[in-house]
Chain A
Amino acid sequence: MDTDLVVQAQRGDEEAFASLAVAAGNRLHAVAHRILRDLDLAEDATQQALLNIWRDLPQLRDPARFEAWSYRLLVRACYAEARRTQHWAPGLRLVDADEPMADASTTVADRDQLERAFRRLSVNHRAVVVLHHYLDMPLPEVAHTLGIPMGTARSRLHYAMRGLRAALDADARPASREATR
């Protein structure tokens, strides 16, 4: 991230902010989509986050921390979007036709189980999983980004991964039973 652009945008330069938004938009949207599991909600959250970033940018003390700071505002926008829409009843989501398949080794059954299990998690837990396992953020940085104690980040990740793993195991069990009959 070009810190000069951040500094210029902090001073109210809209063109500099446009460059930042173009550079950051895709990664913010990708994270929002993975947390919210809904394209429309993710677009709304990303739009709101970008506007909040613009609004609060003068308060960012260290321009070099722009990227982590922007994730913090994005996650808050995801919280707000989740609360606003109340779309959090667990449910089956159809995989979009134009969505690329992850990997041949991640089976359709796995993906459906993960989707369902992930939707049962709170946004708090989803955010930790996405920042750590999608962005490869170390846990201390996840905690700092989300403004939570390290122990909380660790316990949320543990709880979330335990749930996801249980979902995968539940998916594997019937097949195992079938095989032993």
Chain B
Amino acid sequence: MSRSERDATRIVRRWLDAGVTALPDHILSEVLDQLPATPQRRLSWPAWRSPFMSNSVRIVVAAAAVVVVALIGYQLLIAPNVGGPAPAPSPSPAESQAVAPTPSPAPTTAAEFPAGALSVGRHPFTVVGIPFTLEVSKPGWISAPNPDVEGGNVRKGVGTDSSSAWILMWGLDGIYADPCGNEPAPPAGPSVADLASAFASIPGTEATQPADVMVGGLPAKFVVVTIPADIGCEPSQFILWYDDVACGPDAPCARWASDLGSTIRLWIVEVNGTRLTIEAETYEGATAALEEDIQQMIDSIQFE
């Protein structure tokens, strides 16, 4: 005779109620003994870091802040007496050079990736030496270069809630064979298909098979990777893929999972022999409008 659902639930609940509940004292003692050697992780405001933010990026950000302060001082104290054009509304380190008393003629790669809020309209980007433009159709997107990877990110929101999104643009080389163990796999093969296949095979993730798409009128591959809830370590310790340029001592520039349950769409395209990866990450509950906004931006890409 089959038991009713209610009977089965009752039996399961009673079964779960049985068993130990008390944590042995020695476990608690071991935990408390380890506290002094376990530093707390504190985040500076805002409580969010770029998924591939490195020390050098922090230095650039700090430098930009100093330049902004200097610009304000310059405007208040000197500019009224000198005249001349107003500075750009969203100063970046490179833009600041244009209004400084002794401008440097040599723009950096970071200068070719916009910094600051992106107005609605078409904007130029250069990523791993590939120049292109992209149309922003809705407000709220903020752009930040990352000189380490000759690319950067365009984001909306500041966290991992359903209204936030990150679009990262860089040149990726490979994946992590053991994402929780910080163990990179050898670089993927040289083709777009090689890298797309690697993205679809990261242990502990769920991914679609690479699909053929077009980006900027060029053939490209498209893969969707999702971060499940049971990755086995903290998201910030779950390393997904890397750009084989040094971001630290013996460490490639890598990117970790921003949050459990996030969805990362990857477009891989080759332009004049150089491979470019654009990845867009959204979080649980992301609206269709946000997904469409991102897709529109990708569809609007025009390579020069």
Contact = CB atoms under 8 A, between A and B. Distances in A.
B22 interface: yes
B224 to A, nearest CB: 16
B16 A25 contact: no
A10 to B, nearest CB: 8
Contact of B14 (A29, A61, A102): A102
B20 A29 contact: yes
A59 B159 CA distance: 13
Contact of A83 (B3, B43, B232): B232
B32 A14 contact: yes
B106 interface: no
B8 A161 contact: yes
Interface stretch (B34-42, B243-251, B296-304): B34-42
Contact of B21 (A30, A106, A123): A30
A57 B19 CA distance: 29
B31 to A, nearest CB: 5
A28 to B, nearest CB: 7
Label chain A's interface by main secondary structure.
helix
B14 A76 contact: no
Contacts of A43: 23-24, 27
A71 to B, nearest CB: 13
Interface string B1-22: 1110100110111111111111
B129 interface: no
A80 B233 contact: yes
A26 interface: yes
Tell me if B's interface is mostly helix, strand, loop or mixed. Answer: loop
Contacts of B13: 133-134
Contact of A14 (B15, B24, B35): B35
A119 to B, nearest CB: 13
Nearest to B160: A147
A56 interface: yes
Interface string B42-56: 110001000000000
A101 B28 contact: no
A25 to B, nearest CB: 4
Given A58-B43, A149-B261, A169-B3, A79 B18 contact: no
Contacts of A18: 32
A138 interface: no
A21 B31 contact: yes
B15 A26 contact: no
Contacts of A134: 13, 16-17
A39 interface: yes
A179 B279 CA distance: 63
Nearest to B43: A59
B20 A50 contact: no
Nearest to B28: A25
A55 B11 contact: no
Nearest to B7: A168
B9 A46 contact: no
A53 to B, nearest CB: 9
B57 interface: no
A124 B230 contact: yes
Contacts of A101: 18
14 contacts: A21-B28, A21-B31, A34-B19, A46-B23, A54-B35, A61-B47, A99-B19, A100-B19, A101-B18, A103-B14, A103-B17, A114-B15, A129-B12, A130-B16
Interface of B: 1-3, 5, 8-9, 11-24, 27-28, 30-32, 34-36, 38-43, 47, 180, 229-234, 259-261, 284-285
Given A59-B42, A79-B230, A161-B5, 11 more contacts: A25-B23, A25-B28, A47-B27, A54-B38, A58-B41, A101-B18, A114-B11, A114-B12, A130-B16, A147-B284, A168-B11
